[in-house]
A and B are shown apart, each in its own frame.
Chain A
Amino acid sequence: MTYSSAAISALGALGDPTRRTIFERLAQKPAAVGEIAEAMPVSRPAVSQHLKVLKAAGLVTESTEGARHIYRIDPRGVGAMRDWLDQYLGEALDAFKAFADAQEEQPE
Chain B
Amino acid sequence: MGECILKMEHITQQFPGVLALDNVDFELKKGEIHALVGENGAGKSTLMKILTGVNKPNSGKITMNGIAYGQLDIEKSKKLGINMIYQELNLIPQLKIYENIFLGKEPVKNGRINKKEMRIRAGEMIESLGIQMNVEDKITDLTMAYKQMVEIARALLDDPKILIMDEPTGPLTSEEVSVLFRTMRVLKKRGVSIIYISHRLEEIFEVCDICTVFRDGKHIKTVAVDQTDTDELIRLMVGRSLENQYPPRLRSPENAKNILEVKHLTNHKIRDISFVLKEGEILGIGGLVGAGRTETLRAIFGCDPCQGTFCKYGREIRIHSPEDAIKEGIVLATEDRKGQGLLLNLSVSDNIVLPVIKKLKKRLFIDRSSIAKQVQSYIEKLNIKTPSQKQTVSLLSGGNQQKVIVSRWLLAKASIILFDEPTRGIDVGAKFEIYTLMNELKDSGKSIIMVSSDMPELMGMSDRIIVMSEGRITGELTCPEEFSQEDILKKASVS
Q: Do A and B come from one complex?
A: no
Residues of B participating in the A interface, judged by any CB pair closer than 8 Å? none
